A and B are shown apart, each in its own frame.
Chain A
Amino acid sequence: MSDRGTLRIQQISAHPGPVAGEGTQRQDKVCKLIDTTTCIGCKACEVACVEWNDMPFQTTYFDNTYQTMPDTDWNYWNLIKFNEDQHDDGSFAWLMRKHQCMHCEDPGCLRACPADGAIVQYSNGIVDFQQENCIGCQFCVSGCPFNIPKFNPNTKKVYKCTLCSDRVGAGLEPACIKACPTGCLHFGTKEDMKFMAENRATQLREVSGFQNAGVYDPDTIGGTHVIYVLHDATKPERYGNLPAKPRIPLSFTVWKDIFKPIGLFGAMLGFVGVVMHYVFEGPRREQPTPPVVRIDPPPPPAGKEN
């Protein structure tokens, strides 16, 4: 991984004109691989995330699981989801999944965002929030298929996992990767991680007896820069609401990109209409109006019509 170029910007939310850095350099797409089959739920990655990003601790509460809290928060970007899952035959499995921003190739948050430069996608695939440009509208929350962006009511800004873009830009792996004791987390190029993930899935299917094992890299959003190896890739919902086919709402794609400009054009036709009415027809005056002195051009003489 080259450090110099890793944080070149590829996409900017709500931005007019060209995007600085787009396509100026060959870039390796980065990727985090999470092998849920070797995760032991130790939460070292949760601690590492809070530590590295220097976030204030918040009260956690017990809800009859080993999960730290019910969901991620503006100051808690990385959460192991503990799911007690019963198979059809009555046997039991404990599915643990490290839940954080998926860094989508086609990010719903960036599509939804109306603030210029509040969300950027670097050419290495990392999707990052720039809080100084955030206007606090929370459209990104409704654009995200994974329920990741979280609002801080004090700062009125939205926060989420940065994939440690600061560390990656300096040639380091994200903090969670560094902390993982079992080696279930890997970081590298998308190509390499995909290769490793497929190998592991094959091993799970052929050696370990998980016939439905597979890789989660949903193509409905162009793939993600965080991918999972799952024991059962046919039902990702069992891993705590991981959508099988994540989608960006049409209001942030079809409506925002196509019909918004068309709609504005349509509304402006009202302006054109009234101006043209004044030019072609003129005002409706109080009657009676004073006698007309002349009309230019003169109307055609009577009898010559048709």
Chain B
Amino acid sequence: MATSANRFVHRTNVIDRLGRTVVYAGELLRHPVYTRFLHWMVGIFFFLALLSGFGIYLPWIFRFFTPLFGGGATTRFLHPWFGVGFVIFFGLQALNWLGVMRWTPADSRWMKHIKEYVTRSDSVEAPETGFFNAGQKMQFWEIVCGCIAYVITGVIMWFPEIFGRILVAISYVVHDMSALIMLFGIFFHVYLSTFGEPGTTQAMTRGTVSEAWAWTHHPAWYHEITGRDPQQALKQAEAEMAARERAND
């Protein structure tokens, strides 16, 4: 059912040895320390770059952001460096996740049923949904493309005397558009990992998720690491819950 492309193979590195992930009974290891470290570094630099960029993007609305960074000139000075941090850490995360983000036929099928994903919040995911679903993969590849656009246009705007006025004028628009698309996407990312799918946040904080979370949102991944059938596991959990309800009555 699951393909090998959906499996996240992690090799422990030095960052992992600096921290640890405690997995309690009924939980599964989702993101090791290295992944979580990269995620939050990307997040910090993303929001630093976003807020400092807002002040330059539409100053007549967002002029209150620039004092946070020490005024307009300092904001302008820091923004490219925030961007460099964002791209470096996201680049490492991209290498970390390259295999598991590969698009599979199952992802194409997932996209065809995206309407049910949005409107049927009482359901479990299709049994072939692996470590990441197609929506997560799309966002990942969007950010990869966005980062490439940021780097090219950002360097042009950083050193305008080398590239000339017309390239700068074009870069300005492309850089803005990339930022708008990423901003649009970040709302979905934050929503789905917090309010939208409860139990997800801890995957990026403590690094673990509950088994129920796994068979609900990523059944194929659940099957791969536990060897149990996610639908069977769900049925069993339903039966246990019904038994508890009867005992309470």
Contacts and interface: CB of A to CB of B under 8 A. Distances in A.
Interface in A219-278: 249-252, 255, 260-261, 263-264, 266-267, 269-271, 273-275, 277-278
Given A142-B172, A281-B118, A274 B213 contact: no
A147 B119 CA distance: 55
Contacts of B77: 136, 156
Interface stretch (A31-39, A54-62, A202-210, A287-295): A287-295
Interface stretch (B6-14, B33-41, B101-109, B185-193): B185-193
Nearest to B119: A281
A62 to B, nearest CB: 23
A156 B181 CA distance: 31
A286 B213 contact: yes
Name the interface size band of chain B.
Answer: 35 or more
Contacts of B213: 286
Contacts of A274: 187-188, 190-192, 196
A263 B172 CA distance: 14
A211 interface: no
B195 A278 contact: yes
Nearest to A284: B121
A283 B183 contact: no
A147 to B, nearest CB: 7
A290 B60 CA distance: 50
B51 to A, nearest CB: 14
Contacts of A264: 57-58, 61, 180
Contacts of B197: 283-285
A80 B237 CA distance: 86
A167 interface: no
A141 B160 contact: yes
A236 to B, nearest CB: 18
A138 interface: yes
B165 interface: yes
A139 B185 contact: no
B160 A142 contact: yes
B interface: dominant SS: helix
Contacts of A282: 121
A273 B75 CA distance: 31
Interface string B206-249: 00001011011100000000000000001001100100010000
Interface string A13-48: 011100000000000000000000000000000000
B59 interface: yes
Contact of A15 (B58, B60, B184, B210): B60
A139 B215 CA distance: 52
Nearest to B73: A135
Contact of B165 (A134, A144, A269, A291): A144
B135 interface: no
A133 interface: yes
A260 B176 contact: yes
Contacts of A114: 56-57, 59
B95 to A, nearest CB: 28
B169 A142 contact: yes
A118 B59 CA distance: 12
A141 B157 CA distance: 11
B199 interface: yes
B124 A287 contact: yes
A182 to B, nearest CB: 33
B46 to A, nearest CB: 14
Given A136-B77, A139-B168, A147-B165, A288 B176 contact: no
Contacts of B212: 286-288
Given A251-B172, A271-B187, A274-B196, A260 B165 contact: no
Interface string A104-140: 0000000000111010000000000000011111110
A159 interface: no
A291 to B, nearest CB: 6
Given A156-B77, A274-B196, A283-B195, 7 more contacts: A116-B60, A136-B77, A251-B173, A270-B188, A278-B191, A284-B123, A287-B124
Interface of A: 14-16, 114-116, 118, 133-139, 141-144, 147, 151, 156, 249-252, 255, 260-261, 263-264, 266-267, 269-271, 273-275, 277-278, 281-291
5 contacts: A115-B59, A116-B63, A255-B172, A274-B191, A287-B216
